[in-house]
Structure 1
Amino acid sequence: MERRHRVSMTDIAREAKVSPATVSRALNGHPTVSDKVRRSVLDAAERLGYVRNLGAVSLASSQSNTVGLLIRDAGNQFYGGLASRIQAETDRYGFDLLITAGGDTLESQERAVRNLLGHGVGGIVIASGRVAAEAAEYSARFVPSLVLGTGLELPSLSSVRIDPHMEAGLARRVVDHGHRSIAVTASEDPLASTLHARTANFLTELVVAKTDTYIVSFSEQGGVDELGRQVDRALADGVTAIMAGSDEMALQILEYLNISGLRCPQDVSVTGFDGIGAYRSSLLGLTTIEQPVDELAHAAIKLMSRHMNEEHAQTAQILVPGRFVKGRTLGMAQTSD
């Protein structure tokens, strides 16, 4: 397919029968341009299909109106949903949004940050549960930066995340259902700051409640087979409930239990975390905590707007409450006669 020539200001000037300098002033709303000339320039730009070079505009004004969003994985329901809500919030605030995926390594995340900086963004939101501290601090050296939905907290960055009291509250609900031997999933990935913090919050509450705790560790390389072996060992040790750090992990555990002929919650209870998209469905019936993506996105872009418009804005840590989803996968612990 033959591609069209990208329309320049010179093309518009020729069409509107004015100088390129007049076109530039008209497109940028300069007060010396009359309404009649501005209308003529805008009409010509519309007819020709002119697209503004936002990077050049940012360089000319020394201030960017573009927010960069680094997400871990657009295919993940949580990050995909979060990106959609951030788009709505940047639209509401009048910002442009540039999105890139950062992946799960320091190298890929730093490359993603450099890509955003190279496109002249005025601030960067990092929404990744596996963000490396070095990548986040690298971003903060150049533009206002904040981490969203992660357990990472650094003095150089603002952060917005779900209130950790929601994690502690879920652990208390499991205990209140009579469970005294409880397994908690844990990631072996050193960058999984969100899951590390969530596991620690679960375990702290369970230890305070004087329960017996068991760790079900997992890695990307181990796959479902390794997860199954971990679950089998936990159940052999008398575990009656498993608290997963995410809904995706909870679903994998539920699938394994079903294959093994075990019932949930009659034989073992399972809880998740995130409550996004299909995982929140009553058909699945997962007991989980719903992360409020609307509120998280709103708080993040409101805070980023402050950072981009106030030269000496202080960093802030904002906690947003979530919602308990009752579901059907958490039941009362079965006592032996």
Structure 2
Amino acid sequence: MTVTIYDVAREAGVSMATVSRVVNNNPNVKPQTRKKVFEAIERLGYRPNAVARGLASKKTTTVGVVIPDISNAIFAEVARGIEDIANMYHYNIILCNADKRKDKEIRVVNTLLEKQVDGLLFMGGTVTEEHLQAFKSANVPIVLCATTDEHGSMPSVDIDHESAAFDAVSALTGAGHRRIAMISGTLQDPSNGYARFQGYRRALEAAGIPYDESLVRVGNYRYESGVEAMKYFLELDERPTAVFAATDEMAIGAIHYIQDFGLRVPEDVSVISVDNTRMASMVRPQLSSVAQPMYDIGAVSMRLLTKLMKKEQVDQLRVILPHELITRQSVAAAR
């Protein structure tokens, strides 16, 4: 049978109110009484009912986290930052995978809210009006993590994706490349897709290079779409001398296809990307990439959420963290 607070009180010879105070770390309990209650809890194997405590306090000390792709290493790093700060502030995490599907994202958000989470971290793609309606109906704080909404109306933590892409492509133009292709994410995605595409165009313009629509292919952030895009580029009458990929995974797909085609990276085609996941240093040649501070994005997002949940003063609701260009062996001077 389930051990109850009444059983612990009877075993310890104290009131149920005293057991409750001990379980909830109330300081107004004598050390000797506290010891007696803990000994009774250990003997009986009592576990406090978190649901019942949540109903009484109107807090569950639980945070819901919506993650777009649990198999993607970059989101695992964000989740680690979230969890470390959550543990520091004694919050539990419910992690839900949404498969980058809008309908599932909204369903998961509503499910987490029904679970009475104290707050929500959303790591999705495009934040649509439907998302915003679901967020507005919540009576708990919500922070966008590694993404932003188009109008900047939600608290968020991210990098400047346009500037990150600009820096990556500028490294190529600085090496003398003029015919630069891009493997983009979906342009409906405001950060990884559209913002990085805008950064690509801005870097071309800054270098006096006209935009060529035939040098842009839209991928799905995955390795296979990098392979497919590179196959298209190498079949052009005038091949690009450099490629900017919106993610490391697509960039690695591009590198492998270039090599399978019989060309060399970076001697024949230079490749650069954004993200700087662990894969960037595992591929050969090692991939130059713009590093996102993914752990920090998760940690800062969770800290911002704790402040909102505790109604502490928040000086900045939209946080932009710095990025850094990591130069490795996949970029060479244009011939």
Q: TM-score range by the shorter chain?
A: 0.7 to 0.9
Identity percentage of aligned residues? 28
Task: For 1:133 and 1:175, locate their aligned partners in 2 and report how far apart those are by CA, in whole Å.
Answer: 38
One-letter code of the match for 1:97? I
Aligned counterparts of 1:250 and 1:222: Cα–Cα separation in 2: 7
Q: Sort the Cα spacing of 1:198 and 1:47 in 2 relative to 1 into closer, same or farther, 3 A.
A: farther
- For the Cα contact (< 8 Å) 2:307–2:313, is it kept in 1? no
Aligned with 1:25: secondary structure? helix
Tell me the amino acid that sits aligned with residue 138 of structure 1.
A
- In structure 2, the residue corresponding to 1:239 is in which secondary structure? coil
Question: 2:171 aligned with 1:170, yes or no?
Answer: no
Counterpart check, 1:104 vs 2:106: no
Change (3 A) 1:140 1:237: farther
CA separation of 1:209/1:257 partners in 2, compared to 1, >3 Å: closer, same or farther?
Answer: same
Query: Match for 1:146: what amino acid?
Result: V
Task: Give the direction of change, closer, same or farther, for the CA distance of 1:174–1:189 in structure 2 (3 Å limit).
Answer: closer
- Once the 2 structures are TM-superposed, how far is the Cα of residue 54 of structure 1 from its aligned partner? 3.0
> Tell me, which stretches of 5 or more residues in structure 1 are unaligned?
none
Shift of 1:198: 1.5
Give TM-score, length-normalised by structure 2. 0.87
Does the C-alpha gap of structure 1 residues 202 and 93 become closer, same or farther in structure 2, counting only changes over 3 Å?
Answer: farther
Which of 207, 210, 222 is matched with 2:208 structurally? 210
Q: How big is the shift at 1:295? A: 2.3
- Distance in 2, matches of 1:196 and 1:110, equals 22
**Does the 8 Å CA contact 1:155/1:315 hold for their aligned counterparts?**
no
Residue type of the alignment partner of 1:240: T
Q: Secondary structure at the match of 1:273?
A: strand
Partner residue of 2:154? Answer: 157
How far apart are residue 212 of structure 1 and its match?
Answer: 3.9
Mapped pair 1:263 → 2:264: yes
Q: Is residue 83 of structure 2 the alignment partner of residue 82 of structure 1?
A: no
> Any conservation in 1 of the 2:67–2:96 contact (CA below 8 Å)?
yes
Moved more, 240-249 or 293-302: 293-302
The 1-side partners of 2:104 and 2:251 are apart by 28
TM-score (norm 1): 0.86
**Contact 1:306–1:313 under 8 Å retained in 2:** yes
Kindly indicate whether the alpha-carbon contact (under 8 Å) linking 2:168 and 2:273 is maintained by their aligned counterparts in 1: no
Aligned Cα RMSD in Å? Answer: 2.8
Q: Give the equivalent residue in structure 2 for 1:230.
A: 232
Cα 1:32–1:7 change in 2 (3 A) is same
The unaligned stretches of length 5 or more in structure 2 are none
3-state SS of 2:274 partner: coil
Q: How does 1:188-207 map to 2 (within 5 A)?
A: 188=186, 190-191=188-189, 193-207=191-205
Residues 65 and 96 in structure 1, CA contact (< 8 A), matched pair in contact too: yes
What's the CA shift string for 1:292-336, capped at 9, x where partnerless?
1232223212211221122785772111112211111111111xx
Q: 1:312, 1:155 → 2: CA distance?
A: 19
Q: Tell me, yes or no, if the aligned pair for 2:186 and 2:193 is still in contact at 8 Å.
A: no
> Structure 2 counterpart of 1:99, which letter?
L
8 Å contact kept, 1:153–1:159? no
Tell me the amino acid that sits aligned with residue 320 of structure 1.
Answer: L
- What's the counterpart of residue 274 of structure 1? 275
CA 107–229 in structure 1, closer or farther in 2 if over 3 Å, else same: same
Q: Which moved more, 1:75-84 or 1:31-40?
A: 31-40
* 1:16/1:41 contact within 8 Å kept: yes
Moved more, 91-100 or 47-56: 47-56
Per-residue Cα deviation, 1:181-234 (whole angstroms, up to 9, x for no partner): 11112234745742222122222222232224421222489955743443334x
Q: 1:70 aligns with which of 62, 66, 71?
A: 66
In the alignment, what sits opposite 1:184?
Answer: 182
1:220 and 1:300 map into 2 onto residues whose CA distance is 23
Q: In structure 2, what residue type is equivalent to 1:168?
A: F
- The equivalent of 2:47 in structure 1 is 51
Q: SS state of the match for residue 147, structure 1? A: strand
